Amino acid sequence: MSTERAFRFGRAHHLVGVAGLPEPAAPTAPVGVIVLNAGMVHRVGPFRLHVEITRRLNASGYPTLRFDLSSLGDSSAADESRSQAQQVNADVADAMSLLASHSGCSRFVLLGLCSGAQNAHGAAIDEARVAGAIFLDGYAYRTLGFQLRHYLPRLWSAERWHRFISRSLQARASQGDDVFAVRFPPREQVQRELAAMLDRGLKLRFIYSGGVTRYFNHPRQFRECFGRLADRPQISARLFAGTDHTYALRVDRQRLLDDITTWLRDNFPVSGGSNP
């Protein structure tokens, strides 16, 4: 059993979030998990994904907080002159302080989908309290291998051509209209930042969905993108081919939840805890 508590919090009392706290008698988890907004969707996540993730993690003994960043969902603007990145980092710091005060955790894993993954990456660069991150459809870059896997099969398959063309036409029709559209920084920069995170001891999990085949289409691509960085033991990647970007089907969400829970248990085990 766990309990959820709703809070208004933050340096300007401007953020709204829901903390999930395992029973006080439960074994202490080494980390709390903070879930960031996916695109413009409020803290419950696409198709309530964030509610399902946080409740599953609470049942496994991890305290959680799903919350809205400044100006998203139910949170207000902080009325301060900072860049958007600085504001996100300050919001994440506020979220960690809140969860720390209610759970006793001093270190945290950030989890985000799409722009949430980007924000988690940005916050993890400098924040000492971050122990790890789970990036759902986070950074990756097209490689030669990607191009070959993407275009070669189309050469001989009429059905693939048909699907490719219809996807392209629909994408063109809704250009500039993608609610989850994000812009990636240069690969070298991301590679450098990830290396620095690993040097600080962070543990990182990248999970790609079948909804981002426009830039990631094979598990091998992770190494093609990031080179020897990908061989370090604290970093791993997985591709859920066939799913969509936001896990609209229950069966896909369950697979994702299983992966997240297993990764957390392997990397941040709850001491003396049972595995429900």
- The residue ranges that bind other proteins (CB under 8 A) are 4-8, 13-14, 16, 18, 39-44, 46-48, 51-52, 73-74, 76, 163, 166-167, 170-171, 174, 177, 179-180, 210-211, 213, 241-246, 248-252
Least distance to other proteins from the beta carbon of 99, Å?
A: 16
What are the percentages of helix, strand and coil residues in the chain, rounded to 5?
45, 20, 40
| Residue 161 or 189 with smaller CB distance to other proteins | 161
Handedness of CA 112, 116, 118, 120 (dihedral sign): negative
Least distance to other proteins from the beta carbon of 22, Å?
A: 15
Least distance to other proteins from the beta carbon of 198, Å?
A: 31
| Residue 146 or 226 with smaller CB distance to other proteins | 146
Least distance to other proteins from the beta carbon of 102, Å?
A: 14
Least distance to other proteins from the beta carbon of 156, Å?
A: 17
User: Dihedral of the CA atoms 36, 53, 200, 125 (nearest 10)?
Assistant: -10
| Residue 133 or 212 with smaller CB distance to other proteins | 212
The token duo for 163 is 């699907």
Q: Angle, to 10 degrees, between the axis of helix 84-103 and the axis of helix 115-126?
A: 80
Between CA 138 and CA 120 the distance in angstroms is: 9
| Residue 47 or 195 with smaller CB distance to other proteins | 47
Between CA 69 and CA 87 the distance in angstroms is: 9
226 φ/ψ sector (left φ>0, alpha ψ -120 to 50, else beta): alpha
| Residue 149 or 200 with smaller CB distance to other proteins | 149
